[in-house]
């Protein structure tokens, strides 16, 4: 029986043991499967992270490329716009965004700064015309030096081309700077002024100019004195409202002749008013300027010739000019209330050698303050005499090379002392040198050195040495 019981127990154990082993194998398999699945998930996560990093890099690259493409597209669009604008300009484009009329417009000018030092006092430290007398009671010490820094010669202008209207080619010009000095303005608040403002009607070789322009007479400018151009020291001419008539004939590459005439406003420059202090009041007028009171414009005329010279590539130019004006006062001076201003003169630019040339002007006349002669004196307010005057300037120009130019010259304005009161200015003269450096690209720098002397009737003289350095950028 016990054998039967042993067999039965062994059988039961076998039955129990076999399923247990089967269950153990299944757990191991499941563990292996789980480990395999975890390894697969880890592999996929690592692959996903790697893919994400790649995608981020690709997105960054795409973003950079997109920005670069956008920049290139913008630049391309801008370049295309500029090219179109340039081509349109060449084709006569109307600048509708710049001018209401749509006429083409061209800007120009320069930025400039002047540094000036004088060993003795002048009538104006920035815009000098003469040296104060050494015994001048208006100055505490006429030999006291002066120093200024000035930017008022900075210039801006533009030309407008209206094309052909009717049978005339029509253009206009406006040019300004800041060299106005009204009472009460400071050197850091210089006010704009009109230099040039005119319209021009050209009919082939003949043209009419209406507005403010340079005087027809004395067309040349000396190398020094950028502020006042040696006015009152031998150089005539200024700017004023006028009507000009220009005519040219001949061969522009050979000998060419020009005729310029003008009807101008007398008193526009010196605003002379002799009877201002006499108590005379002119009815129906807001001004007592003697040139306005004359009732008519003055006349200017210049005949010019330009021809090839003995120096290859250089032209010789000469001109002869005249000026005639009337002045009128309501009060009498020396029994006179009508006065005459006149001038005659010559101008020339003469090449001497390859790099040397001579240029200058000479004049005689009377009552010339309105065209910057007579050391800015016109009429003797006691005798009524028109102040007779002669003067001019001449300079030798050496173009050292493409960069450097040296000019040496002198000027004089000599008023007749017989027409002047004691203490009036009867001679104003200078000797000067100018060194100019042209660096290209519109950048220029120059240095003026001027000995300046002003003599006074029976009261001595004043003299000074004046240095001016300037830097200028043309555009």
pLDDT for position 118: 97
Looking at the fold, whether 301 and 448 belong to one and the same domain comes out as: yes
Looking at the fold, whether 120 and 259 belong to one and the same domain comes out as: yes
Looking at the fold, whether 147 and 47 belong to one and the same domain comes out as: no
| Residue 434: Cβ-neighbour burial (10 angstroms; 0-12, 13-18, 19+) | buried
Domain enclosing residue 402, as ranges: 110-151+216-474
Shortest CA distance to 242 belongs to which of 263, 219, 259, 260? 263
What is the value of pTM for the model shown? 0.78
Last residue of a domain, one of 41, 57, 89: 89
Rounded to whole angstroms, the Cα distance separating 89 from 161 reads: 12
Looking at the fold, whether 39 and 126 belong to one and the same domain comes out as: no
User: Can you say how many angstroms the Cα of residue 54 is from the centroid of all Cα atoms in its chain?
Assistant: 59
With tokens 């006074």, the residue in question is: 456
Task: Determine the length of the chain.
Answer: 475
pLDDT for position 189: 85
In a domain, 13, yes or no: yes
In a domain, 207, yes or no: no
In a domain, 221, yes or no: yes
CATH number at residue 456: 2.40.160
In a domain, 102, yes or no: no
User: Can you say how many angstroms the Cα of residue 448 is from the centroid of all Cα atoms in its chain?
Assistant: 19
Looking at the fold, whether 247 and 329 belong to one and the same domain comes out as: yes
Looking at the fold, whether 291 and 342 belong to one and the same domain comes out as: yes
198 three-state secondary structure: strand
In a domain, 306, yes or no: yes
160 three-state secondary structure: strand
In a domain, 451, yes or no: yes
pLDDT for position 35: 74
pLDDT for position 94: 47
In a domain, 97, yes or no: no
Residues in the chain, pLDDT under 70: 1-27, 48, 52, 54-97, 136-142, 181-185, 279-287
Instruction: Provide the domain count of the chain.
Output: 2
Residue 431, number of CB atoms within 10 A of its CB: 14
Q: Do 339 and 327 contact (CB within 8 A), yes or no? A: yes
Looking at the fold, whether 75 and 137 belong to one and the same domain comes out as: no
Looking at the fold, whether 303 and 344 belong to one and the same domain comes out as: yes
In a domain, 164, yes or no: no
Please, what's the b/e burial string for 266-305 (b: 16 or more CB within 10 A of its CB; e: otherwise)? bbbbbebbbbeeeeeeeeeeeebbbbbbbeebbbbbbebe
E strands in 334-420: 336-351, 356-366, 388-399, 404-415
Looking at the fold, whether 141 and 1 belong to one and the same domain comes out as: no
With tokens 């003797």, the residue in question is: 380
| Residue 455: Cβ-neighbour burial (10 angstroms; 0-12, 13-18, 19+) | buried
263 three-state secondary structure: strand
Q: What is the dihedral of CA 306, 307, 308, 313, to 10 degrees?
A: 20
Looking at the fold, whether 83 and 114 belong to one and the same domain comes out as: no
């Amino acid at each position: 029986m016990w054998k039967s019981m042993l067999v039965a127990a062994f059988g039961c154990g076998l039955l129990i043991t076999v399923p247990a082993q089967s269950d153990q194998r299944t757990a191991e398999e499941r563990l292996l499967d789980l480990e395999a699945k975890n390894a697969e998930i880890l592999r996929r996560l690592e692959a996903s992270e790697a893919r994400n990093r790649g995608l981020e890099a690709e997105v960054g690259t795409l973003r950079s490329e997109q920005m670069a493409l956008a920049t290139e597209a913008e630049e391309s669009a801008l370049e295309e716009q500029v090219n179109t604008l340039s081509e349109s300009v060449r084709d006569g484009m109307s600048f509708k965004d710049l001018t209401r009329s749509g006429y083409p417009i061209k800007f120009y000018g320069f930025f400039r700064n002047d540094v000036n030092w004088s060993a003795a006092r002048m009538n104006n430290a920035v815009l000098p015309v003469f040296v104060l007398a050494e015994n001048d009671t208006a100055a505490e010490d006429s030999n006291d030096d002066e120093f200024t820094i000035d930017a008022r010669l900075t210039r801006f202008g533009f030309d407008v081309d209206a094309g052909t209207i009717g049978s005339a080619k029509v253009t206009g010009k406006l040019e300004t700077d800041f060299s106005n000095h009204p009472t009460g303005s400071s050197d850091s608040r210089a006010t704009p002024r009109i230099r040039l403002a005119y319209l021009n009607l050209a009919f082939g070789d003949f043209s009419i100019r209406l507005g403010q322009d340079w005087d027809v007479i004395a067309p040349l400018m000396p190398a020094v004195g950028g502020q006042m151009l040696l006015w009152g020291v031998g150089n005539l001419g200024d700017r004023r409202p006028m009507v000009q008539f220009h005519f040219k004939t001949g061969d522009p590459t050979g000998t060419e002749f020009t005729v310029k005439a003008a009807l101008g406003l007398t008193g526009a420059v010196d605003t002379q008013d002799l009877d201002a202090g006499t108590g005379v009041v002119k009815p129906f007028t807001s001004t007592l300027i003697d040139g306005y009171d004359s009732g008519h414009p003055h006349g200017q005329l210049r005949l010019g010739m330009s021809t090839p010279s003995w120096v290859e590539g250089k032209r010789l130019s000469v001109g002869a000019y005249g000026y005639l004006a009337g002045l009128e006062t309501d009060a009498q001076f020396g029994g006179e209330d009508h006065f005459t201003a006149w001038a005659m003169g010559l101008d020339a630019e003469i090449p001497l050698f390859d790099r040397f040339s001579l240029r200058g002007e000479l004049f005689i006349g009377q009552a010339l303050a309105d065209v910057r002669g007579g050391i800015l004196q016109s009429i003797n307010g006691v005798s009524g005499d028109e102040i007779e005057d002669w003067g001019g300037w001449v300079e030798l120009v050496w173009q050292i090379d493409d960069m450097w130019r040296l000019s040496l010259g002198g000027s004089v304005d000599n008023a007749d002392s017989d027409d002047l009161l004691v203490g009036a200015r009867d001679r104003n003269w200078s000797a000067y040198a100018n060194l100019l450096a042209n660096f290209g690209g519109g950048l220029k720098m120059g240095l003026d050195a001027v000995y300046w002397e002003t003599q006074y009737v029976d009261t001595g003289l004043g003299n000074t040495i004046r240095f001016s350095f300037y830097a200028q950028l043309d555009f």
